[in-house]
Structures are given as C-alpha cells and as structure tokens.
Amino acid sequence: MKIKPDFRMRPPMLFILLFLTLLCTQPALAQSEGLSVNLSNQPIKVVFNSIQEQSDYRFFYSDDVIDLNERYSISFSNKSIQEALEILTSKTQLSFKIVEEKLIVVSNQAIQSSAFLVKGRIVSATDNEPLPGVNVVLQGTTTGKVCDFDGNYEIEVPNESAVLVFSFIGFKKQVVPVNARPVVNVALEEDVSSIEEVVVTALSIERDKNSLGYSITQVSGDDINGAKESNPINSLAGKVSGLQITKSPTGVDGSSRVVLRGVASMLGNNRPLFVIDGIPMNAGYGGAGRWGGKDSGDALSDLNPEDIESMSVLKGAGAAAAYGSRGANGVILITTKKGKNKKGIGVSFSSGYTAETPMVTPDFQYEYTQGAFGQYPTLAGNPAKPLADYPWIWSYGTKIEGQTETNWLGQEEQMTRQPNPYDAFFRTGSSFVNTISFDGGNENTTFRASITNQDSKGIMPNNDLSRQTINLRGFSKLGEKLEFDSKLTYIRSKVENRPYLAEDGSNIVQSISILPRNISLESMKNNTVDADGNMQDWNIDPTFANPYWVLENIYNADEKNRLQGMFSVKWDITDNFNALVRSGVDYSNANSKEHENPGRPSDGNPGKGSVAQTMGNTMEWNTDFLATYSKEYNDFSFSLSTGGNYRYNKYNSISQGGRVMKVPGLYHISNYESFGTSEWFSEKSVYSLYSLGQFSYKNYLYLDVTARNDWSSTLPLSNNSYFYHSENVSLLFSEAFNLNWDWLDTGKIRASFAKVGNDTGAYEIAQYYSIQQTQTDFPLAGIGGQLPHFDLQPEETESWEVGTNLSFLKNRLVFDFTYYYSVSDNQIMNVDLTPSTGYGTKKMNAGKLQNTGYEVQLNAKPLESKNGLNWDLILTWSKNKSEVEELYGDMEFLPLAEEFHMMIQARPGEAYGMIYTTDYKRDAFGNKLIDKDGFAQAGEWKAMGNINPDWIGGINNRISYKDLSLNFLIDVQMGGDVYSWGKAYMGLFGTSVETLEGREEWNAGTGGFVEDGVSESNGQPNTVAIDPTMRWYNIYNRQIGTEWIQDATNVRLRELVLAYKLPSKWIAKLPVENVNFSLVGRNLFFLYRAMDHFDPETGFSSGNTGNGIEHLSLPSTTSYGVNLKINF
C-alpha cells in the first residue's frame, strides 16, 4: 500500500513560514528616536559611524570637501535624526540634507556655492555596457537630461551639494549626491521587480502593473528559453498560477494541452488565444482519438524560443475582453525581440544540445512465459508453433527457469528472462538547435534578423524532426510623428514517422507492453516477414503488430511551410492623440503523406497496401486600427481608445487515398487499384468594433472599461451580433492613505467584471450536401447526420474576480491573490436525436458551466547579500472547480470521451470531467463482495473519479553567486484521476508486476490469488484462492473499470539550469561582449508519484479530456543537455 502525503494545507503554511522567516531576517527597522552620542575630541568620521550604527541612515560625502579627521566634541541623548543633524550643524561648519534611500548628504558651509557643470557616463553594472536614454534629473526640480547613445550626459547643478537622480526602465533608481565633483559616473543595477511592473496587456499596450484591475503574469524570454524546451509554451508549466500545461508524449513536435482557469466550453475549444506582436495566431490542438491515429502537433511548437522577449498571461475575461470571443479562455501575449540601439551590428550565436530518455517505464514481471493457467501454449501447425490466439498469447505460462520450449518461430529455444522492452526498444532521443542573430540600429531605426536550425530525433527509432526558422524584424521612426514596425517569419518543418497511438494497430508501444516475457525483441526484429512476404507476428490479433514490421513498412511524413507577417504604422498626431493601423497574416501550407506496404493481416486477410495524401492551406488575416486620446488634468488622467478589427479565416484541402498496391515500392496514387479523392473548403469572417477607456486619480485609483461588438459570419443573421464588455478597478491603498510603513511597500486591491461571447465554426447553421464519387451517369449526393440549428445563439461567459497585490520588506516579499468566478451559458454542442428524425445529432445551445477558483503567487528574496549571493523564490498555487449547472432539457448527461469500460461525462450538478465506470459490487461498508468461487463481482455504473486536479502549484528557485546561477522548478499536481487502459491491458495479458501475486502458490497447489473483500454469503473476509489468470480476466470480462483508475498526484523536478557567465576580464581581449554556458535538464525525476507504471502526463490528445485517459502512448521523457551563447 502506498502512503500518500497530504499536501492540501501545505501552500498556505509555506507562505506563512516564509513570511515569518523573511520578517525575522530583516535588519531592525530604522529608529526615528533614541539616538545618543557622547564623544569628546573625536574625528567627525567617528561621530558619523556612531549614528550609522544606531540607525539605517548613511552619510554621503566627498573626501575632497570634508576633512574627516577634524575633531569635535559632540554630546546628545535620545534625539531624533533631525534633532541630531541640527546639533551637528551648530557644532560644525557642515550642512546636512536627507535624501532618498536614507542617505544624508554632507557638504561644507565654508565653501562658496555656485552653479557648475557635472558630466559623466552611465553603464550597466551587469556588463559595463553604456546605457543610452537614462533620465538624469536634479532632485527636487523638473530639470533633467537624457544621456546619449554612449551613456554620456552633462547637466548644470546649482551648487556642490546638489543631488542627481538616475532612472531607467528595468534598472534600480540611484540617488547620487554631487559633492562638488565635476565628474559623476554611475553603474545602474538591473531591477527585476521594476521590469515586471511594466507589463504587456491586451492589444499589445504596455501598462503599469499597479494600474490593472485584473490578474496578469509576465514571464521573461530568459525564463522561457533557459531549459531549452522546443515548444516554449511548455516552459510556462509551474510558473503561472491557474495555468495547467500537459505535454503529450506523442513523439517529436507533439502537441500540448493548455488550459487556463479550467474548462469553459464543454465540447468547444478551451485553449487560450495566442497573440504574437498584436496579431492573433491559429494555435489549434492535436492528438489521436480512441481508436488510433497520430498527433500531428499544434502551431505552438512553431514558436522559436530564441525570438521571444516575453510572454504575458491574461487570465480572466476582464483582461482579455478586448479580443472578443476568442479571449473567453484567456490570452497569452507573446512579444518578440526587436533590434537594439547600438553602435555597429551585434551578433549573437547560441547552440544547444539535449538528449532525452524515457522517464517512466512500466513495472514488468520477468518470471513467467507466454501461456495461460500456468501452462505453456499447446503447439499446432506445420511447423509446430505455440497457439497464437487467446488466451495462449497472454503471459500466464510456466516459470522461466532455463527450460527448453518451442518459440514463436517454431524453433527450440531455452527460456530466458527478457529485459524491460522499453529499455531495449527505444533509442536515446536528441535535439540540436543553433541560432545566429544580428541586430543593430540608431535612435530612429533598429533591426533584428535571426536564423534557427533544429534537428531532433525522438525516442521512437525513426521519428525525426527538421525545422528552420527565419525571422526579420524592423522598426523605424520617420521624424517625431511616425513609427513603423514590421516583422516577417518563415518556418519550414518536416516530421517523419509520427508514432501511432491509442488502439491503433500500428501503436508500437501497445505491442511491446503486452509482449510475452520470454519473447525477445531481437527475434521480432530479425523475423519481420514470412516466406510469403507477409508480416510475421507472435499473435493473430491485428491490434498488436510486430513493432519492427511497423518501423520498416509503415511510413508517414508531414511537411509544413508557414509564413507570418505583420506591419503597423503609428502616427502621433498631437502630443495627446495617436492612431495605429496594423495588419498581419498567418499562412501555412501543409502536405502530409503516409503509406503501408502489403503484408499486414486485416480481419484475417493479408493487407495489400495503402496510401493517403492530404494537401491543405490555412490562412488567418487580421487587420485592426486603434485611435487613442490621452490627457491629464491636475490629479486626473484618462486615455480613450476606439478601434476595430477584421478577421478572415480560410481553409482548403484536397485528400487522396488508394488501396491495393500494384507495383511494390511505388507510392503514387496511380499505382493503386482503387482510389478516391475528397476536397474541403471553408471560410469565416468576423467584424469587430471596440472602445477602451482608462481613468486614474492621483496615480492610486484606476478604472478600465472595455466595450466590444462582434459580427460573425458563422451565426444566423438575426443573431450574428453580440456585445460584451468589461470593467476593472484598482486601488493602491498604500498610496491613497499614505501608509508610510517600513514593512509595507505597496498595497493594492482590485476587482474586475466582464461578459464575453463566443461563436461557432463555419457551416453549422445550414444544411449542406456533399457530392460523392460514383461510377454511374447520375450525380450522387448525401447530407450529414447533423441537423443544423437555424436560430443558434452565441455562447456567453460572465466572470468576475477580486484580488490583492501586496509588497513587503523593500519588495523582498510580493504577494498576489485572486478569487474568480465565471459561468458560461448557451453552450454550443451536438445533442443526440432519436433515430426517427433521420439525424443523429443537432447543433444546439444546450448547457451551462461554472468555474470558481483561487490563485496565489508569492515572489520572495530569502537571501540578498552584498557579496553577490542571492536567492529568489517564486511560489505559485491555484485551485479551480468546474461544475456543470445544466444541460439541454431533460438530458441526463453529455458524453465527453470514451474508452473501454469507461466514459467521461458532464452531468448537471456534478464536476466537469467525471469518470464513469463500473465499480465492484460492495456492501454497506464499502467492502468488495466476493462470490462463492472467490471472484469479485460487478457493481454499479457510477462516478469513480475526476480528470481535474484538486490544485496545482510550482516552486521556482534561482540561487546566484556573482556569475554563477542555479535555477530549478518543482512542479506539483495534487489530485485528479487518470483512467489507465495500459494498466488494464498489462493486467489482462499478465505482463505487469502486480499479476505475479498468487501465481507460485496456484501452480504449486498451495494457494492462489485471494481477492480482498468479504464473502457475499457470510460477510466474513474472503479466503477463497483463485487462478491469477482468471482473476485479471474476470475484472476485464465483467468490465470493472475501477481497477484502472489511478491517482494523478505527482511532484516532479520539472526544470534545472546551472548557468555560468564568463567574467569580463577573461574575455576582455577577445572580440566578444559576453559568453554564457549552461547545463540544462527538464522533467528530471519525480519526488512523488501516485500512479503505477506511467507518468500521469501520458495522454494521447491535447483536447479537453486529453489528461484523463492513458492508453499506452510513448513514455514521457527526461531531457538533459548543454547550451552555449556568445554575444559579439
């Protein structure tokens, strides 16, 4: 029995303990009273030190101006800092001025004050590179300068005691007293918290995070690209509260399930909208179905991590309402890199190599041969071979003790224990990615160009990926009024031999998982065909093919060419009014082909070969405009924007298929006896108008309002217009009430409300005919089995959220909390009809789904030292509850997904994604009732699990010392269930370790498998032993699915990066700016896993229920590698 730790109360406790720890580690708060000095004839520097030891204040002075050795007698007791400075002023010829950061500027009254020029150079403390555009302001005035391209500045100051303030986005502000110095050079330190304060919001508008009334999380490109995940979206796992990401183990370029704040549409698309540089992209999702297929990937894997500057996750409808119906599930904004204002052309080269191996493999039994009931199969045929039909293809045979038996090839062979077939079959996968980029420009024009090549090999022996990405980005100013921004990205990718999944007869994982424990993979590899050229296999079930015959005789490949372009013009008409026009296209051309050689049995007859090919084009074109007017009136400021969007989607494809190959090895459609062709076309348009308003009062009270109306071509004309809106309010109460508490830096409360809509796909509201191919002289047409709804309404989602953002202890502890509620009504779905209607289903508005949840994020700095040792910690925790409120009419349930002996359903009053199956027959106390023969019995068909986790969380750490850093991410999922049909198959076939129980006793006649439970006849504990073969067959035969439901709870080390930046002095004489080297790993190991045999993240689909069913997909993988990045 596994002991499962109870993590349910851990996140709040962790937060409290961390808060107390940080509180205790802080230095004593500055004392405003109680300063005492009693010094006689001591140097003034001793007086300064005495005051500094009693407070957080520090004296700042110039040795050229102040004589530190001049002696004074100073005596006072229990004085405030102001009173102490007044006494010092009266006793000396010095003057004192308290400035920001508790600095006390010391100047000499004896020196005549006059205006003079101060100049200097401003650089980054990280790499000593100049910082252009830094603001230099004379404290207490509006007088200021901006440094030039090389970081140089000049400013006139009124006297030698003037104080300069240096500020730049992304860097810590520095307050520097001049102290009569003509040259003041400054090195600014990066400020991560400052960077995060400015975030990218809807329509790519940059906003101060404090002004937002909704929850948003921004992740930098460095955090995304650190561990070199080929699909950058997977790098967000565990880093954003409320975001659940599951990478499907379906081969290279597989898809990922991405859900934000739970499922909102029961049968529709629940993926967030992905927007790249203001242009929405067609992300889609992939995966196989219950009966097989392959995962063709999703568009997210086309994103190049090297080109990403940041990702912003807009979680609620209030944040995403500006994107209309597509933003109902949230929005992930992706901002790509631009060129930099610098001298010359910068060159950056990065190279990364990672290897991957299976992370989790099933626990096999290695002790018993093929057979059943403790016996080796009977021999039959000429030559004599073991029977290749049920039950003799199971692994409940004799014990492997070196005996000689006739093997599956009809040859005498000594029985030996075979190793784990996963270890023997799968190869070490790899990925080699190289990128070179160029950037440069001046104050008016910048550019960036990059080329990336990726070659990846999956753990499946012939599964390969080749991808090339070219990215061009340009930005230019024409005078002071016009700005042009453009981007062009071309992606070419080719994937060969995507693995077949689920119940597909070509699913290799399925075959090797039930392969008898005495049959070697080597014998399968060396004997793929018989004398007649047909597939040679150890069994006659076409579901379980010879894995090596599949590798050699079934081929699939898909090639995609994708072009993404964007062009925008911004015109600053006046200082307060600007207009933006932007247009972008996302076009892809895909060509897929697969073929199978003759020789594989199908329904008892050898197959004769097949071919299939599809060519398709997908295009999305978005054009939008936005006019914005901003104004400030005393304490009030506002910004009003009006805009619109036109979206056009088009898809067309042509497919061909042929059967019965004529000439071996020629995979042209003309080489097949029978063939057919089909063609598909669809298009969709959406027109939108919207307005946005932002209002603020004294920079502590903010109100955002959004209104939008869409007109969709896929809805009836009478219902094709739908309006939605959002209202967001934010109050910085720490500023509003002047809470000058040393332990509280910033306090904000926020609230948001939104109502959004959603339409449907093309051609759902009318009846259409499809023309079929026929050999007759007359056309043949048919109608589909779905009855359209001529008055279909748009889906509607109403949501609200409240939250707070708190910053403590000089920003060393930042707390973000959100509670949200949303309800999605008028769900668009297919409802089953009675056969008498002549249709199978009807498209209807037929359901309501509610989501509620909590999100917590805690950013902390447990360690921050002057010697360069730092520890940054980010904790995320979220809990979501999805509940079905109603379905259409008296509809009892809505099927969401099916597997053998199981169905995932949506039922009114229950959580979304309940797993329904047959339980054991039980008594009133929950004990299994065992019949007189010792067998468990089938009980009720009922809800036995749920696919959704109880909560998810992440612990993201960064420990750094000077140029060395260690990043690691622990990802947590608590609760949720997976229906494991792989475990069922391995139990039925006798290949899993748990099927060993009772075998030795049964074969020896001393016992067997004793089912846990009580006798139905007398209520006493069951003592009747049964044949283990029949125990597992009994569960399968009676369709008792409870046995296969597993807990998905897991805690894993998701990411690890050890990075080192070469010190500048090492490369000072080389033509390089910096060199970074890192060791990386992803999905390294489990700290805890409740599920037997498999990783809980082993679904075969990235759809709504893809995380709830395991059916022998590829094993999840551990990757580890090295990265090198050089900037020239």
**Segment 995-1034, tens digit of pLDDT:** 999 999 999 999 999 999 999 999 999 999 999 999 999 9
The answer to whether 318 and 753 are in contact (CB under 8 A) is yes
Read off the tokens for 529. Answer: 């065909």
Q: Is 570 exposed, middle or buried (0-12, 13-18, 19+ CB in 10 A)?
A: middle
Residue 835: phi, psi to the nearest 5? -60, -25
Closest CA to 873 of 886, 857, 893: 857
Task: Please give the Cα distance from 94 to 47 (Å, whole number).
Answer: 13
**CA–CA distance from 110 to each of 66, 161, 256, 846 (Å)?**
10, 12, 72, 86
**Digit-coded pLDDT (tens) for 549-573:** 999 999 999 999 999 999 999 999 9
854's CB contacts (< 8 A; 6+ apart) are 817, 818, 819, 877, 878, 879
Other CB atoms within a 10 A radius of the CB of residue 637 amount to: 16
Specify the pairing of strand 1025-1026 against strand 35-43: unpaired
Residue 645 confidence (pLDDT) above 50: yes
Read off the tokens for 907: 């039922």
Cα–Cα distance measured from residue 120 to residue 118, given in angstroms and rounded to the nearest whole number: 7
CA distance linking residue 289 with residue 16, whole number of Å: 45
Which is nearest to 10 in space by CA: 946, 875, 958, 1087?
875
- CA 591 – CA 231 distance, rounded (Å): 21
**What are the residue ranges of CATH 2.170.130.10 in the chain?**
223-341
**In terms of Cα–Cα distance, which of 393, 183, 535 is closest to 991?**
393
Asked if pLDDT for residue 30 goes beyond 50, the answer is no
Of 875, 859, 868, nearest in space to 960 by CA: 868
Phi/psi of residue 547, each to 5°?
A: -60, -35
**Model confidence at 406: pLDDT above 90:** yes
pLDDT, tens digit, 9 for 90 and up, residues 467-509: 999 999 999 998 888 999 999 999 999 999 999 999 999 999 9
545 and 511 Cβ atoms separated by less than 8 Å: yes
In angstroms, the CA 969 to CA 1088 distance is 15
What pLDDT sits at residue 197? 59
Tens-place pLDDT, residues 692-748 = 999 999 888 999 999 999 898 888 888 888 888 999 999 999 988 988 888 998 899
Q: Cite the residue boundaries of each domain of the chain with CATH code 2.60.40.1120.
A: 116-190
pLDDT digits (tens, 9 = 90+) for 796-829: 888 999 999 999 988 899 999 999 999 988 888 7
Q: What is the pLDDT of residues 366-393, one digit of tens each?
A: 999 999 999 999 999 888 999 999 999 9
pLDDT at position 18 over 80: no
SS3 211: helix
pLDDT at residue 620 above 80? Answer: yes
Helix (H) / strand (E) containing 383: none
Query: What H or E segment, with its residue span, contains residue 552?
Result: helix 547-553
Percent of the chain with pLDDT over 70: 94
pLDDT band at residue 142 under the 50/70/90 scheme? low
Domain range 116-190, CATH class: mainly beta
Cα Rg, the chain, nearest whole Å: 34
Whether 47 shows a pLDDT value over 70: the answer reads yes
Q: What b/e sequence results for 839-850 when a residue is b if at least 16 CB atoms lie within 10 Å of its CB, and e otherwise?
A: beebbbbbbbbb
Q: Return mean pLDDT, the chain.
A: 87
How is 647-693 classified by DSSP, letter by letter?
Answer: EEEEEEEEEEEEEEESSTT---GGGEEEEEEEEEEEEEEEEEEEEEE
> Span 317-326, mean pLDDT?
77
pTM for the complete prediction? Answer: 0.83
Q: Are strands 308-314 and 279-281 parallel, antiparallel or unpaired?
A: unpaired
The pLDDT tens digits of the residues spanning 581-617 come to 999 999 999 999 999 999 987 655 568 999 999 999 9
Q: Within its chain, how far is the Cα of 1030 from the centroid?
A: 44
CATH 3.55.50.30 residue window(s) in the chain? 35-108
762-801 pLDDT, tens digit each: 777 777 777 777 767 777 887 877 777 777 777 788 899 9
Which residue, among 241, 212, 211, 264, has the nearest Cα to 799 in the 3D structure? Answer: 264
pLDDT over 70 (residue 881): yes
Cβ neighbours of residue 312 closer than 8 Å, sequence gap 6 or more: 199, 200, 201, 216, 217, 218, 219, 332, 333, 335
Domain 223-341 carries which CATH code?
A: 2.170.130.10
Residue 1122 has pLDDT above 70, yes or no: yes
Using alpha carbons, select from 68, 71, 104, 101 the residue that is nearest to residue 85: 104
DSSP string, 960-979: EETTEEEEEEEEEEE--EEE
CA distances from 300 to 267, 329, 867 (A): 21, 16, 41
Q: What is the pLDDT of residue 9?
A: 39
- Region at 984 (left for phi over 0; alpha for psi -120 to 50; beta for the rest): alpha
Q: Is there a contact between 298 and 353 (Cβ–Cβ < 8 Å)?
A: no
CB contact set of 800 (below 8 Å; sequence gap of 6+): 318, 751, 752, 753, 754, 820, 821, 822
Residue 19 predicted with pLDDT over 60: no
For the cut 90, the answer to whether the pLDDT of residue 847 exceeds it is no
Beta strands of 139-263 (E only): which ranges? Answer: 144-146, 152-157, 163-167, 174-177, 186-188, 198-200, 206-208, 216-220, 243-247, 256-260
Paired residues of 256 in beta bridges: 247
**Peptide bond before residue 499 is cis, with ω within 30 degrees of 0:** no
Task: Calculate mean pLDDT across residues 37-57.
Answer: 84
Q: Just give the CATH number of 35-108.
A: 3.55.50.30
Can you list the positions of beta strands (E) in 141-232?
144-146, 152-157, 163-167, 174-177, 186-188, 198-200, 206-208, 216-220
Kind and range of the H or E element at 507? none
Q: Which two tokens stand for residue 301?
A: 């894997």
User: Between helices 81-91 and 44-54, what is the axis angle to 10°?
Assistant: 180
| Averaged pLDDT for residues 297-305 | 84
Cβ 263 vs Cβ 244: under 8 Å = no
Task: Read off the DSSP letter of residue 536.
Answer: P
Reading the block at residue 92, the tokens are: 């000396």
β-pairing verdict for 308-314 and 216-220: antiparallel
Pairing of strands 273-276, 331-336: parallel
What secondary structure does DSSP assign to 987-1019, as a single string?
A: HHHT-BGGGGTTHHHHHHTS--EE-SSEETTT-
Q: Judge contact between 218 and 204, C-beta under 8 A.
A: no
Q: Cβ–Cβ contacts within 10 Å for residue 926, how many? A: 9
Residue 110: what pLDDT? 60
| pLDDT score for 111 | 59
